Structure 1
């Protein structure tokens, strides 16, 4: 399985998996610091960044199959892994499958919504991506403005005006360019529900991190995630939205080091 990735640093390998519409650039807020102690591999999932889309169904299941094949072909099976948002759900699915990954950190994973939360998630994100696509011609200017960043990312970040303009521009361009975004969004909301891993399923550490101000995956969903993955350690990020590695980069790095050793 061919996937584009960026590789930086030296040490014990660490895999980073972005969320829906993102790319390896989604990790720019922490990747350089992680690379001081680890060899970091940040991938573009199929249909994202520079990796071609899958042929056929695009879902958590098929993305997990693709990542598994990529790791097997590149002799990376058992690698410590961090996932964010959809990538957070993806690493939980890979954790559940057994020996694919090593230690796992899942940041604000999707897939644990119920009832009205499902159409809320789908409709708000679908509306946001339509706006992002329309604004692409002027996105460089919007991303340079603190007010512009706040308006763009109010649902995703507790402090969007403080984010790097380049990081925001990269993310907005990646969202608009992803050929898999629409199908994947629908399957995330209305497709197969996430299965769990029973108690003492695996010996490797699992941490689930959640922003207390997450407006995409509401904090109450964390209890559902822990119920399905009872061996996980739950970590709360104070004053933090949907992306802890954006709003609380140092705290995120600390959680990654603590979990992966």
Structure 2
């Protein structure tokens, strides 16, 4: 599938996958650090960012989105890349590892390890954020991002340090969230989501110490599922790339190996 993406660097390929409602620019704080060792390809999922929607008749599920990433890699001629994802992207990284089509996978606070009440909470938060983003006029997103107090209110559930967000990046993220045609169907597909099949490729799971969307006790379930210790990203929230770019880049590079 032909998807919007950003490519930087040289070396072994590393695919970066964002979370629900976001776009590839979520990885901007770390992309150049990763590109120093790899050919980094940050992609917009179908129906998000600047990528087209899934073809008619194909539902928005983790499986179909993983299919789209596989198809995208084939289109670029990329075989068995390393992959890193955050939130929904983290689940997709684990799904691709379960298929054995990636060299290794890194999942940052992946969805799918929640209890029913935790899922209900996360769904309510995501829908509230989406409704706010859709209600704002274009200039409203810029005003929100430019105010430190409003920035804290709008982003505090997703990052531990809203003040570290670039105002322009936050405004663009708010607009992407409000405009994403794949959001609602993807969110509905989360209901009843189970962890992927056991991985065939090496995986690393890391969780934000201050994740307020997918609370960190979910990391315990992820550890039990994977049979390995989950790394704790100290001082980070649900989208850790802006909280501590150096830490996130180090965790990813240690997991995927040299380029």
Q: So what's the TM-score if we normalise by structure 2? A: 0.93
Q: Is the 8 A contact 2:90 2:110 kept in 1?
A: yes
Provide the rounded CA distance (Å) in 2 between the counterparts of 1:36 and 1:226. 30
CA deviation profile, 1:88-138 (whole Å, cap 9, x unmatched): 01111111112x111111000011111311211111211121011112331
- In structure 1, the partner of 2:243 is 247
SS in 2 for 1:29: helix
Aligned residues: 254
SS in 2 for 1:209: strand
CA deviation profile, 1:31-88 (whole Å, cap 9, x unmatched): 1222222211011110011111113310101101111122223221210111011100
- In structure 1, the partner of 2:233 is 237
- In structure 1, the partner of 2:37 is 37
Q: Return 5+ residue gaps in structure 1 as ranges.
A: none
1:65-144 superposed matches below 5 A: 65-98=67-100, 100-137=101-138, 138-144=140-146
SS in 2 for 1:15: strand
1:163-178 superposed matches below 5 A: 163-178=165-180
- The Cα RMSD (Å) is 1.4
SS in 2 for 1:7: strand
Provide the rounded CA distance (Å) in 2 between the counterparts of 1:130 and 1:80. 34
Q: So what's the TM-score if we normalise by structure 1? A: 0.93
Provide the rounded CA distance (Å) in 2 between the counterparts of 1:14 and 1:151. 33
Offset of residue 21 of structure 1:
1.1
Q: Is the 8 A contact 2:222 2:230 kept in 1?
A: no
CA deviation profile, 1:225-258 (whole Å, cap 9, x unmatched): 122222x552101121101111111000111111
SS in 2 for 1:175: helix
Provide the rounded CA distance (Å) in 1 between the counterparts of 2:80 and 2:49. 24
- In structure 2, the partner of 1:213 is 210
Say whether residues 1:187 and 2:189 are aligned partners: yes
Structure of higher RCO (CA pairs closer than 8 Å, 6+ residues apart): 2
SS in 2 for 1:151: helix
SS in 2 for 1:81: strand
Provide the rounded CA distance (Å) in 1 between the counterparts of 2:21 and 2:160. 20
Q: Return 5+ residue gaps in structure 2 as ranges.
A: none
Structure 1 runs (4+) greater than 3 angstroms displaced: none
- In structure 2, the partner of 1:25 is 25
